[in-house]
Amino acid sequence: MPPTANAGTMPSPTHLVRPLRIGMIGAGTVGGGVYEIVMNRLGGGSSSSTTTRTTPTPIITKICVRDASKPRNFHVDPARTKIVTDISSVINDPEIDLVVEVAGGVTFAKDAVYASIRGGKSVVTANKALIAENMDELIALLGEANANNRGGVRFGYEASVCGGIPVIHALQSCYAGDVINEVMGICNGTTNYMLGKMETGAEYDDVLREAQDLGFAEADPSADVEGYDVRAKIAILAKLAFGVAVPVDSIPCMGITNVSVVDFAYAKSMGCTIKLVGTAVRKSRFGEYDGALSVYVSPKLVPDDHLLASATGCGNAVAINSANLGLASYAGPGAGRYPTANSIVSDVMRVANGTCHAVPFPLSRSSVDEIDNDYDSAFYIRISFQDGLGIVRTIGELAESQGVSIHSILQQPITDRMAADTVVTTESCKLSQVKALCELIGREEFALSTPVFMPMIPEY
Amino acid sequence: MPPTANAGTMPSPTHLVRPLRIGMIGAGTVGGGVYEIVMNRLGGGSSSSTTTRTTPTPIITKICVRDASKPRNFHVDPARTKIVTDISSVINDPEIDLVVEVAGGVTFAKDAVYASIRGGKSVVTANKALIAENMDELIALLGEANANNRGGVRFGYEASVCGGIPVIHALQSCYAGDVINEVMGICNGTTNYMLGKMETGAEYDDVLREAQDLGFAEADPSADVEGYDVRAKIAILAKLAFGVAVPVDSIPCMGITNVSVVDFAYAKSMGCTIKLVGTAVRKSRFGEYDGALSVYVSPKLVPDDHLLASATGCGNAVAINSANLGLASYAGPGAGRYPTANSIVSDVMRVANGTCHAVPFPLSRSSVDEIDNDYDSAFYIRISFQDGLGIVRTIGELAESQGVSIHSILQQPITDRMAADTVVTTESCKLSQVKALCELIGREEFALSTPVFMPMIPEY
């Protein structure tokens, strides 16, 4: 092992002359990682372990669990850390400066987080659902707590989106003089793993079973494959990038359950792959991003040389398009014990050394005038049909009736006249237009099902 | 234009109750971008322009230039900003809180930066050469200045490496609980552009001329093509990641002048591309990165699916391999007016809102025991020769004599027996071994020149 970790060596703010005392709620996979890093690598409160004497070292003094007798996959040092089962002994402990919440859920965890903030404690959490559903409330709560506590209450949530990728911190800290036009995130490792396998020819059902066997996917995989996990995350990123708390259940959300191996074949013929992407984008006209904000989740056709295409396996990536930078991207592990724990520990150390942002979402509502989730895009439409006369004419007529302009028609040679498919790509149109078109096509006699559609990321 | 920028809305630290007053040294391309962003988008000191009343707005009150009459490509508002030619009127102005240095060079700029710090002013600079050559001195100077000024002196240098990519801030802030094993950076847009063109078949000389015509490359391109620019940048990243100030001129540095179109053909046959990479890596044995630190600059064979391969055109990318995260990457624009200005403004706003790190390099020397730039790697060796008998045997004997184990031999069918080439890849060996081997091969009668060698990034 290398001799020291990258412990921050910042002078401590005056309110933290002693070690930073942490109460941790939850002791699962991520909690174990946090405990190991804080207590072993960062010294766990020992003053001799740090590189300069001015560093406040973090120490986890209490861990609150449901069942104290349950075996854990990490060693808790009883001389330094007390295991408790009563949450009030953490949130009411005046010695605890900061609460790390890694229990998950939106009921018990929410109460604990709110009570901690109200009590003047800083909070670091990985709980995306809790944040996505309560952004404005959390901001108000933190504002009050800071007014009552002379500004010392911080809220870190780097681990809530894209596990180990510091995208939240980047959005808080690296765009102060910029204007963001678009945020696109591959924020779910499970579905990215599945889509990667499907790209090499594996069928959806087989890949899902494999992901479940590997422990990547839950027995009920709907949070991942239906896109709900990404939806919560893109809501958080949209708030950071545009200052708007878009209600989670208003966000159009399409998962990967309709994506098929044949879609990858068509995508490949267009120089693309398929990724599940959460998008928050301002509507643009003539290259100016000056319209309403659209937030949505959908599988997307991504050009092979796009920065987002480089997220392989369980990896995550976020691409941000802004006025000053053009396209920038952040890629790395999206989940897992140590990546997620690393983001939590980074937040803890930012609280310790005084560089944690006082306001968790730097933008106020004013950066966007309007939300319109009926987003604009070029679309890919795959139509499964029973071969017959007049199909292309009918599709053309239906597209015209919905005001959808067809950009290209791709059709592999038909080998089975009873179950063929063709792909139509459109010029930019609205989600509602392409949806209506697909429903109309699906009602035609030749259609075997309602067509599958996906937005397409344009070439650079 | 969107109504507001992502202005930070943090409560101001107590020493910044009024606007943050900035003196800027230099008014070239980047300086103009900084001025426009600060004065137009962030309000330039106007209290009504920000989203909350607690935000200290930055204002550039003075710009120091060599020639005040020289036309500039941005408009300076004389009501808010004074153009001066005497540096002392900036560094000795007690009203100025922060100095932005965008003049470049290591003589005048160094004096101005040092005097500003000594005078208790924070400094933000894009000057990689100044930093790379004076890291330990700068740290000492800042320590003294903070001791004398109650901790208020900050030093921001995000723009010095990889223009618009926030890699310095990420290394300062996102690895506090982690241990970094390797940093690899594509940090020079000019050479990345040139290599990208060569990948599609263009010859080096033509590409260099094109880059010069486009203004990407200087009339004397040596800082770019010989790797000196990358060398200064990897020295800075190595200090951040490992705590060691490696003397710049001790870093082995090979540029792209020997890379030829034929190398791209061989690379492609191995599923790779070629990038100019600055590397700082701990020596590893059996997968444990526990040895000496090696820092070097060289063109490298990069697997097509590696995160670094996604930096195309003038783009930059940095990949960081760490204990907690595995591989993470940051990609974006490496240069240019607004990307570089954005990094400077981000630093300025971090000083304004109190989140700029007090210590510019968080690690002390202790994280690495030893520096050994005779690095280990698998190597690619291209041998140009006149065909004859016994060549493969001779190469094999010479490799054995240097303790270099050959991994593979690739040879395209020989079309010109007087000027053929073959590629040998090695198992992991030392730079000194492969250098000695290439010199020995170059002395053989069949050799047309000393072979070209490059380290190879292994597959994931």
| pLDDT in the model for residue A4 | 39
Interface test with A, best of B324, B327, B365 (most A CBs within 10 A): B324
What single DSSP character describes residue B206? H
**From A171, which residue of chain B is nearest by alpha-carbon distance?**
B6
> Annotated catalytic residue: which of A233, A275, A300, A430?
A233
Residue A208 carries which side chain, given as an amino acid letter?
Answer: L
Element of type H or E holding B167: helix B167-173
**Which of B169, B312, B364 faces A52 most closely, judged by CB atoms?**
B364
| pLDDT in the model for residue A46 | 73
Question: Helix, strand, or coil here: B185?
Answer: strand
Do A329 and B330 count as a contact with CB atoms less than 8 A apart?
yes
3-state helix vs strand vs coil in chain B, percent to 5:
35, 25, 40
Could you tell me which of A87, A75, A78 has the C-alpha nearest to residue A114?
Answer: A87
Using pLDDT thresholds of 50, 70 and 90, give the confidence band for residue B366.
low
Do B333 and A339 count as a contact with CB atoms less than 8 A apart?
no
Q: Is the pLDDT of residue B19 over 70?
A: yes
| pLDDT in the model for residue A91 | 97
**Which of A42, A179, A364 faces B177 most closely, judged by CB atoms?**
A42
Rounded average pLDDT over B269-273: 95
Do A341 and B307 count as a contact with CB atoms less than 8 A apart?
no
Which residue numbers of B are catalytic? 233
Q: How far is B222 from chain A (nearest CA, A)?
A: 27
What span, in angstroms and rounded, lies between the C-alpha atoms of B394 and B401?
A: 10
Using pLDDT thresholds of 50, 70 and 90, give the confidence band for residue B50.
very low
**From A365, which residue of chain B is nearest by alpha-carbon distance?**
B51
Do A310 and B310 count as a contact with CB atoms less than 8 A apart?
yes
pLDDT tens-digit map of B225-242: 999 999 999 999 999 999
The class level of CATH for B167-332 reads alpha beta
pLDDT tens-digit map of B97-106: 999 999 999 9
Instruction: Judge: domain A168-333, CATH 3.30.360.10.
Output: yes
Q: What percent of chain B has pLDDT over 90?
A: 79
Could you tell me which of B355, B359, B406, B351 has the C-alpha nearest to residue B383?
Answer: B406
**Which residues of chain B neighbour A9 with C-beta distances below 8 Å?**
359, 362-364
Residue A234 carries which side chain, given as an amino acid letter?
Answer: I
Do B326 and A333 count as a contact with CB atoms less than 8 A apart?
yes
Could you tell me which of A347, A254, A366 has the C-alpha nearest to residue A299?
Answer: A254
What span, in angstroms and rounded, lies between the C-alpha atoms of B122 and B354?
A: 12
On whether the CB atoms of residues A169 and B173 are closer than 8 A, the answer is yes
First to last CA, chain A: 43
**Which of B180, B241, B325 faces A164 most closely, judged by CB atoms?**
B325
On whether the CB atoms of residues A266 and A410 are closer than 8 A, the answer is yes
Could you tell me which of A219, A317, A313, A244 has the C-alpha nearest to residue A277?
Answer: A317
Q: How far is B99 from chain A (nearest CA, A)?
A: 17
Phi, psi (deg, nearest 5) at residue A105: 85, 170
Do A51 and B366 count as a contact with CB atoms less than 8 A apart?
yes
**Which listed CATH number (3.90.660.10, 3.40.50.720, 3.30.1360.70, 3.30.460.80) goes with A14-164+347-353?**
3.40.50.720
Q: How far is B368 from chain A (nearest CA, A)?
A: 7
**Which of B41, B170, B328 faces A177 most closely, judged by CB atoms?**
B41
**Which of B3, B329, B369 faces A367 most closely, judged by CB atoms?**
B3
**From B181, which residue of chain A is nearest by alpha-carbon distance?**
A2
| pLDDT in the model for residue B12 | 38
Interface test with B, best of A355, A364, A366, A367 (most B CBs within 10 A): A355
What span, in angstroms and rounded, lies between the C-alpha atoms of B399 and A413?
A: 54
On whether the CB atoms of residues B324 and A338 are closer than 8 A, the answer is yes
Q: Is the pLDDT of residue B52 over 90?
A: no
**Which of A38, A177, A346 faces B5 most closely, judged by CB atoms?**
A177
Where do the H-state alpha helices sit in B243-374?
261-269, 337-353
Return the axis-axis angle of helices B189-199 and B261-269, rounded to nearest 10°: 70
Could you tell me which of A165, A210, A204, A200 has the C-alpha nearest to residue A185?
Answer: A165
Could you tell me which of B304, B272, B267, B280 has the C-alpha nearest to residue B410?
Answer: B267
- What dihedral angle (degrees, nearest 10) is formed by the CA atoms of B244, B247, B253, B255? 100
On whether the CB atoms of residues A25 and A110 are closer than 8 A, the answer is no
| pLDDT in the model for residue B365 | 59
3-class SS string, A334-390: CCCHHHHHHHHHHHHHHHHHCCCCCCCCCCCHHHCCCECCCCEEEEEEEEEECCCCC
Could you tell me which of B99, B65, B103 has the C-alpha nearest to residue B83?
Answer: B65
Do A362 and B9 count as a contact with CB atoms less than 8 A apart?
yes
Do B328 and A178 count as a contact with CB atoms less than 8 A apart?
no
Longest dimension (CA), chain A: 82
| pLDDT in the model for residue A14 | 41
- pLDDT < 50 positions in chain A: 1-16, 49-53
Residue B39: C-alpha distances to residues B5, B58, B71, B118, B354 (Å): 12, 8, 19, 27, 20
DSSP string, A3-32: S------PPPPGGGSS-EEEEEE--SHHHH
Do A329 and B346 count as a contact with CB atoms less than 8 A apart?
no
- Which residues 6+ apart lie within 8 Å of A18 measured at CB? A56
3-state helix vs strand vs coil in chain A, percent to 5:
35, 25, 40
Element of type H or E holding A199: helix A189-199
| pLDDT in the model for residue A366 | 58
What span, in angstroms and rounded, lies between the C-alpha atoms of A77 and B439?
A: 58
- The two tokens of residue B52 are 């909350």
**Which residues of chain A neighbour B350 with C-beta distances below 8 Å?**
173, 176
Residue A354 carries which side chain, given as an amino acid letter?
Answer: G
Lowest-confidence pick of A198-207, A296-305, B47-56, B271-280: B47-56
| pLDDT in the model for residue B460 | 62
**Which residues of chain B neighbour A157 with C-beta distances below 8 Å?**
none
Question: Helix, strand, or coil here: A413?
Answer: coil
Cβ contacts from A onto B, under 8 A? 260
Residue B188 carries which side chain, given as an amino acid letter?
Answer: N
| pLDDT in the model for residue A1 | 32
**Which of B52, B324, B330 faces A339 most closely, judged by CB atoms?**
B324
CA B278 to chain centre: 8
Burial (CB count <10 Å: 0-12, 13-18, 19+), residue A446? middle
**From B35, which residue of chain A is nearest by alpha-carbon distance?**
A177
pLDDT tens-digit map of B283-339: 988 778 888 999 999 999 999 989 899 898 999 999 999 999 999 999 999 889 999
User: Which residue ranges make up each domain of chain A?
Assistant: 14-164+347-353, 168-333, 376-456
**Which residues of chain A neighbour B364 with C-beta distances below 8 Å?**
9, 51-52
**Which residues of chain A neighbour B5 with C-beta distances below 8 Å?**
176-179
**From A44, which residue of chain B is nearest by alpha-carbon distance?**
B177
Do A366 and B4 count as a contact with CB atoms less than 8 A apart?
yes
**Which residues of chain B neighbour A146 with C-beta distances below 8 Å?**
11
Q: How far is B95 from chain A (nearest CA, A)?
A: 23
Do A329 and B326 count as a contact with CB atoms less than 8 A apart?
no
**From B6, which residue of chain A is nearest by alpha-carbon distance?**
A176
Do B339 and A326 count as a contact with CB atoms less than 8 A apart?
yes
Interface test with A, best of B29, B146, B173, B289 (most A CBs within 10 A): B173
Do A176 and B354 count as a contact with CB atoms less than 8 A apart?
no
Longest dimension (CA), chain B: 82
Q: Which CATH architecture has domain A376-456?
A: 2-Layer Sandwich (3.30)
| pLDDT in the model for residue A341 | 97
